[in-house]
Chain A
């Protein structure tokens, strides 16, 4: 067996493009998921029964499905619903955002309920309105409690983007696989893929634990 790692270098532009797609997917899914997740969290905590039940139903439904099924589903269904074929990239983005929103909803809700009830009472007793208690007292504490989980979720999200392989979106892993097959150098390219994911996730989780230590309350 002889290995030739110089082929990796020849394909660096393609691979970097793929890596960029992976980061882009992660980033957009996190932002979109957090925005929708925040609304879902507010709905779930609503005192209006039907509103909270709707959000709860959505969250429980999506959390009980495997991600890959949600991706297939949107890939096959969205063109049927909108009536014309859509880009695979767009369909996985929608799937990721809607899937992640369910998880972010639970993270945000847990963050808000991690703040003691007495804090709300103390804020109200000072003369803050309920909204200002949220703004000055509850949300800053909730966010601080949420940061480690949010970042951990982002790392999982980054790894999960590789699932787009199944619908042929050219993310990092798909690109590595395509090039591995065309050059007949699978070991080199799969090793590179493994090392890349490992390094990125290792650095990211190292940052998370440092943040955690620094902001431990």
Chain B
């Protein structure tokens, strides 16, 4: 479904991504991890064209993301994305955050869009918050609204860019639980995260990046059993210590 072929990106002389290749099949959950500055967020933002790249190709469902003639808004409307800082629209109620994109982009009727929003809020356990504004919610609640907003567009794949990094520890699980249930329903997911517990539970593959390169791309069992590269071993020993 998502195919990254030998993608490189640089700012001036500074390389951000170096010859990255990665394939994510339908229904697969791929966790991308690595030290900060390794390019993992940039890579995931290249997948829906939020970041440009200078070399290589990325195909989403057979459509080239980087090609000039590609209708990027249309392509992006089929890919859900969840950000580290939630990025809910602060001037709209929770319900409107979820309903407006459906109305404006998918041309759904207002009643239909709101019904879909309410159904998703119910699933997230946030039905009571529908009329509130994002600033009135906790971080964990905001992130679940952001996931609901993405799901309301009926995406065929979801990209998560460090979805729990900005959360207080006690709120991480409420977000991870939603992501686990999505994974178990067969959603195609690319997840940039340091949550190795999440990776262990639902990932099919784990990709380890370092200095713009994909150093390791292995099945979960293999990755947690015996990572091949020294860098991945070091990284794992650091974050799994506690």
Q: Which residues of B contact A122 (CB under 8 A)?
A: 81, 83, 87-89
Contact with A along B119-152 (1 / 0, CB 8 A): 0000000000000000100000000000001100
- Give the contact-size bracket for chain B: 20 to 34
Interface stretch, picked from B29-37, B98-106, B182-190, is B98-106
Q: How far is the CA of A122 from the CA of B142 in the complex (A)?
A: 14
Contact with B along A113-152 (1 / 0, CB 8 A): 0001011011111111100100011001100100000000
Task: Return B143 CB to nearest CB of chain A, in Å.
Answer: 12
Q: Contact: A144 with B91, CB < 8 Å?
A: yes
Which single residue of chain B is at the shortest CB-CB distance from A132? Answer: B104
- With an 8 A cutoff between CB atoms, is A217 at the interface? yes
Q: Contact: A136 with B83, CB < 8 Å?
A: no
Q: Which residues of B contact A123 (CB under 8 A)?
A: 89
Which single residue of chain A is at the shortest CB-CB distance from B45? Answer: A121
Q: Which residues of B contact A140 (CB under 8 A)?
A: 91
- With an 8 A cutoff between CB atoms, is B165 at the interface? no
Q: How far is the CA of A119 from the CA of B77 in the complex (A)?
A: 16
Q: Contact: A128 with B73, CB < 8 Å?
A: yes
- With an 8 A cutoff between CB atoms, is B65 at the interface? no
Q: Per a CB cutoff under 8 Å, which of B45, B85, B91, B153 touches A126?
A: B153
Q: Which residues of B contact A119 (CB under 8 A)?
A: 87, 89
- With an 8 A cutoff between CB atoms, is B50 at the interface? yes
- A-B contacts, CB under 8 A, total: 62
Contact with A along B58-91 (1 / 0, CB 8 A): 0000000000000011111111010101011111
- With an 8 A cutoff between CB atoms, is B48 at the interface? yes
Q: Which residues of B contact A118 (CB under 8 A)?
A: 83, 85, 87
Q: How far is the CA of A137 from the CA of B78 in the complex (A)?
A: 20
Q: How far is the CA of A81 from the CA of B157 in the complex (A)?
A: 64
Task: Return B147 CB to nearest CB of chain A, in Å.
Answer: 13
Q: Which residues of B contact A132 (CB under 8 A)?
A: 104
The list of the 4 closest CB pairs from A to B, nearest first, reads A127-B77, A122-B87, A125-B81, A126-B101
Known: A126-B101, A141-B91. 19 other contacts (CB 8 A): A116-B85, A118-B83, A118-B87, A121-B87, A122-B83, A122-B88, A124-B76, A125-B50, A125-B83, A126-B77, A126-B105, A126-B149, A126-B153, A127-B73, A127-B75, A127-B105, A128-B73, A128-B101, A144-B91
Q: Can you offer 28 A-B residue contacts whose CB atoms are under 8 A?
A: A116-B85, A118-B83, A121-B45, A121-B83, A122-B83, A123-B89, A124-B72, A125-B48, A125-B50, A125-B83, A126-B76, A126-B77, A126-B105, A127-B75, A127-B77, A127-B78, A127-B105, A127-B153, A128-B73, A128-B101, A128-B104, A129-B73, A132-B104, A136-B104, A137-B89, A140-B91, A141-B91, A217-B91
